[in-house]
Amino acid sequence: MSDQLFKKLTETVTNHDEAALITITNHPDTSNIGTKMLLQKNGTLYDEKDLPKELHAILSEYCLPLLTQNKTKTIQIPYSGYTIECYVEVFPVPLHLIVAGAGHVSESVAELGKMLGFYVTVIDDRKEFANITRFPKADKVVCSSYMTFFRNIHISPQTYILLLTRGHKYDVVSLQELLKREETLNVDKRSPYIGMIGSRRRIAGVFEQLKSEFIDHNFSNVYSPVGLDIGAQTPTEIAISIMAEILKIKNAASGNSLKEGIPSYSKLKFRERIKK
């Protein structure tokens, strides 16, 4: 891969844009084998060689559906009476986990989030807490006011947000700012998960205020108290509870114990698979 194409791929991934790296693996002109191109979702194709524009057009036509469907595979493309083989490697937009607050629970959440493949951003308004030393596994650590951050951050169906600040007033202010942003978006363009920590009593007071301010918002993507009920006590246990809930939403799963699918062990019957 040329340095220029590698730089473009790096920029694309860093900016959370989808792309597909196309490699020609078979071509009648053997000098073209190994040539790489970068295809973006808007159809723009970056070429490290000066291939014909007609070939660009047909490559986009065949490879763009794979990018849209997030499918990495080898495909055969008919072109000018012969067949070109290409390996199409899709680089999807990573799920973005935003953690507001830089406390002990947030440290564990950031580490678990990275283990699960999320792009993790941590935001706090205190320099002594918002630093890479405390969050070495995070992709990005931001020192900013919560209102300014959430007023400008990109929100999409790939964005998962956790409000775990040091004071409940900051959680509420952040949530209000997020809801204002969401009301300008179609429902299918909003974050699937906004989790806010807090006791039931405190949360009841918050939503008494919010439902009068956001009349048309059904709060279906707001999860508070945050996490699954696993009896979590320590920061790490709480982080596991939270990330389990996020996975439940992401995977559209029940969150129930898998054991519940087996009514009785005593009635189970082992059936050996017959090899064909």
Q: Show the tokens assigned to 61.
A: 């036509």
Beta bridge partner(s), residue 79 = 82
Please give the order of strands across the beta sheet that includes 36-40.
45-47, 36-40, 19-26, 82-91, 73-79
pLDDT tens, N- to C-terminus, the chain (276 residues): 788 888 888 888 777 788 999 999 999 889 889 999 999 888 888 888 778 888 889 999 999 999 988 899 999 999 888 899 999 999 888 899 999 999 999 999 999 999 999 999 999 999 999 999 999 999 999 999 999 999 988 888 999 999 999 888 888 888 889 998 888 888 888 999 999 988 888 788 888 878 778 877 778 899 999 999 999 999 999 999 999 999 999 999 998 888 888 877 777 776 766 666
Give dist(CA 249, CA 192) in Å, integer: 7
**CB 63, CB 54: distance < 8 Å:** no
pTM, two decimals, is 0.77
CA dist list (Å): 125 to 87, 142, 144, 226: 45, 8, 5, 22
**CB 101, CB 143: distance < 8 Å:** no
Greatest Cα pair distance, the chain, in angstroms, is 72
Give 127-135's long-range contacts (Cβ < 8 A, gap of 24+). 129/102, 129/103, 130/102, 134/102, 134/107, 135/102, 135/106, 135/107, 135/110
Q: Is residue 272 packed enough to be buried (19+ CB in 10 Å), middle (13-18) or exposed (0-12)?
A: exposed
